[in-house]
């Protein structure tokens, strides 16, 4: 399964709006039955300035500025969704991309079931064997074909794995020309091969990485400076690869785990702010690697008999001198860097409990016996939270919606209610 790092995956749906059957003239019209929705399906723009949500009667979507929640627009029969800082509205004809404040048209896409990827300068849509780009500055469009498969094979799929700046890491699936689609386990499909490529949205070029994984990639993480990409794939689960993000060549490959131990299978990774250290979280433990030399600089074992257990899939963020690992929905683990020591673990006490880590890793919304907003670095309670409705952070970690209440993440102070 794929987790998308630093990636916005827009999922669209169509809301059917069917009016009641007409009543005979002599009959007393029956009151219209409505169901009040406590979960408003909140969506935020990339910069956190705009918010959209479903009305309590589930018949409308409101669009407002996050700072005051006063509706600027009311939409009929649309799911709330954003593509970057633009509003994305799906119907049976495709997706209309427009400016949230006034509804002016930016672009349209062909299918409401296609993922829209947000890069620094464009929105990208995968269309079979090509990538369609929509400029975030002008709305201008262009399409780039992918020619990535070896002779006598054809491209069967491009799957986004991670984004950094204008670069998109893509899983590339090739198959023998005329071969039947693969069925069953991935390893039983001899006619298909998979690799990883980088697509640069600025110049419209594809770069194949210097190693073929022949299986799904589990951990993909760009360094903050955009120069290095770290990868662990299912065909080499004991190996960590560092690639040059510009040339696609392998800078170094490491096998740091003990024999027969896996680094991948739905693990997660993150980089130090200076791009010099890469932290990898796996079922066998938590690792720190020097990106320049490949040396393992720290390790904390996980699993039976250790302080740490790593349920997967996971999310990891570096917050000051703490590495915060979230194994949603129930566990948060904190380790002190650079030595990865002094680990403590926080776990929900009820089967329905939830711990939601903010995108920047600074805050945790705890939904359990106690409902509270917590500082992820100190684990001190910032403020209590409402007890009903799901929790959603905005992409900048400035706001948190809990049910129909919106609060400021840093202070926990409520700023309003979604009508």
The answer as to whether 337 is a domain residue is no
**Measuring CA to CA, which residue among 298, 290, 292 is closest to residue 335?**
298
Q: Is residue 152 part of a domain?
A: no
**How far is C-alpha 374 from the chain's CA centre?**
22
Q: Per-residue pLDDT tens for 32-66? A: 333 444 556 889 999 999 999 988 777 788 999 99
List the domain range (segments joined by +) for residue 100: 8-14+37-114
C-alpha 46/C-alpha 86 separation (Å) is 8
How high is the mean pLDDT of the chain? 78
Q: Regarding predicted confidence, which is higher, 183 or 73?
A: 73
- Flag whether 106 is in a domain: yes
Peptide bond preceding 69 in cis form (omega within 30 of 0) = no
Tell how far CA 272 is from the center of its chain.
20
Reduce the DSSP state of residue 187 to 3 states and report it.
helix
pTM: 0.77
CB 99 within 8 A of CB 89: no
Please say if the pLDDT value at position 20 is more than 70. no
Residue 84 falls inside a structural domain:
yes
Q: For residue 389, is pLDDT > 70? A: yes
With a cut of 90, say whether residue 187 has pLDDT above it.
Answer: no
Helix, strand, coil percentages in the chain from 3-state DSSP, rounded to 5: 0, 45, 50
**Once rounded to an integer, what is the mean pLDDT over residues 128-153?**
85
In a domain, 193, yes or no: no
In a domain, 122, yes or no: no
Exposure letters 305-339 (e unless 16+ CB within 10 A, then b): eeebebbbbbbbbbbeebbbbbbeebbbbbbebee
Q: Which residues pair with 197 in a beta bridge?
A: 170, 208
> Quick check: bond before 329 cis, omega within 30?
yes
Alpha carbon dihedral 234, 236, 240, 244, in 10-degree steps, equals -90
Position 209 confidence tier, pLDDT thresholds 50, 70, 90: confident
pLDDT for 246-300, tens place per residue? 888 888 888 765 555 556 556 788 999 999 999 988 877 888 999 888 888 998 8
Scan for tokens 């407002």, then name that residue: 64
Can you tell me the distance from the alpha carbon of 99 to that of 101, in angstroms, rounded to the nearest whole number? 6
- 152-158-162-163 Cα dihedral, nearest 10 degrees: 100
> Is 146 within the bounds of a domain?
no
Q: For residues 131 and 141, is the Cβ–Cβ distance under 8 A?
A: no
* Whole-number Å distance between alpha carbons of 45 and 65: 10
**188: confidence class by pLDDT, cuts 50, 70, 90:** very low
pLDDT digits (tens, 9 = 90+) for 117-127: 889 999 898 87
Average pLDDT over every residue of 213-227: 75
102, part of any domain: yes
Domain count of the fold of the chain: 1
Residue in 142, 135, 106, 130 with CA at minimum distance from that of residue 118: 135
Please report, for the domain that includes residue 75, its CATH number.
2.40.10
Q: State mean pLDDT over 304-317.
A: 75
């Amino acid at each position: 399964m794929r987790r998308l790092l630093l990636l916005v995956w827009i999922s669209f749906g169509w809301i059917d709006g069917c009016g009641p059957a007409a009543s005979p003239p002599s009959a007393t019209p029956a009151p219209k039955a409505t169901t009040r929705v406590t979960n408003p399906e909140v969506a935020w723009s990339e910069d956190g300035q705009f918010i959209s949500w479903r009305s309590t009667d589930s018949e409308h979507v409101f669009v407002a500025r996050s700072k005051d929640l006063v509706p600027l627009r009311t939409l009929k029969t649309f799911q709330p969704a954003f593509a970057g800082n633009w509003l994305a509205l799906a119907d049976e004809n495709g997706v209309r991309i427009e400016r949230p404040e006034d509804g002016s048209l930016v672009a349209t896409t062909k299918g409401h079931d296609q993922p829209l990827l947000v890069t620094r300068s464009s929105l990208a849509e995968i269309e079979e064997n090509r990538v369609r780009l929509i400029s975030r500055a002008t709305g201008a469009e262009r399409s780039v074909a992918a020619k990535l498969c070896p002779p006598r094979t054809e491209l069967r799929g491009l799957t986004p794995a991670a984004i950094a700046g204008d670069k998109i890491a893509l899983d590339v699936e090739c198959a023998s020309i005329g071969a039947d689609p693969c069925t069953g386990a991935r390893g039983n499909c001899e006619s298909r091969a998979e690799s990883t490529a980088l697509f640069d949205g600025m110049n419209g070029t594809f770069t194949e990485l210097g190693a073929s994984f022949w299986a799904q990639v589990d951990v993909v993480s760009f360094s903050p400076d955009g120069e290095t990409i770290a990868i662990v794939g299912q065909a080499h689960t004991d190996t960590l690869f560092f690639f040059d993000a510009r040339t696609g060549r392998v800078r170094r490959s490491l096998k740091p785990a003990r024999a027969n131990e896996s680094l991948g299978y739905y693990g997660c990774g993150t980089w130090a702010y200076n791009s010099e250290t890469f932290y990898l979280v796996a079922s066998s433990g938590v690792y720190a690697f020097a990106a320049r030399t490949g040396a393992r600089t720290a390790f904390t074992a996980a699993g039976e008999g250790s302080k740490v257990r790593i349920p997967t899939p996971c999310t990891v963020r570096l917050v000051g001198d703490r590495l915060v690992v979230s194994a949603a929905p129930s566990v948060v683990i904190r380790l002190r860097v650079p030595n990865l020591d002094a680990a403590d673990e926080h776990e929900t006490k009820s089967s329905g409990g939830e711990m939601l880590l903010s995108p920047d890793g600074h805050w945790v919304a705890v939904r359990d016996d106690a409902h509270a907003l917590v500082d992820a670095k100190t684990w001190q309670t910032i403020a209590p939270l409402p007890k009903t409705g799901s929790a959603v952070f905005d992409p900048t970690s400035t706001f948190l919606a809990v049910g129909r209440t919106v609060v400021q993440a840093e202070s926990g102070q409520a700023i309003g209610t979604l009508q």
